[in-house]
Amino acid sequence: MLHRGMKVKHALSSDQLREVRAGKKEVRDRKGNRVGLEGALVEGTRLYINRGEPDANVADSP
């Protein structure tokens, strides 16, 4: 469950956050656009963590 006003980083696990901060992985939206960790989440946002092609669903915002 994510609250209104939360950001992309809040949707990730600690391990995922560490990998993204280290530049090993990137967070992308459903259109494949890269998004920053401080990006705002809005209702219905779906995020993916990958290095290229979308692979795993990370989180749905409320």
| Helix/strand/coil for 20 | helix
Residue 11 CB: number of other CB atoms within 10 A?
A: 21
* Six-digit token string for 3: 């609250």
- Closest CB 34 distance from other proteins, rounded Å: 4
* Binders in 1-20 for other proteins, by CB under 8 A: 1-11, 14
Pattern of binders to other proteins over 21-60, x per CB under 8 A? xxx-----x-x-xxxxxxxx-x-xx---------------
SS3 state at 6: coil
The residues binding other proteins (CB under 8 A) are 1-11, 14, 21-23, 29, 31, 33-40, 42, 44-45
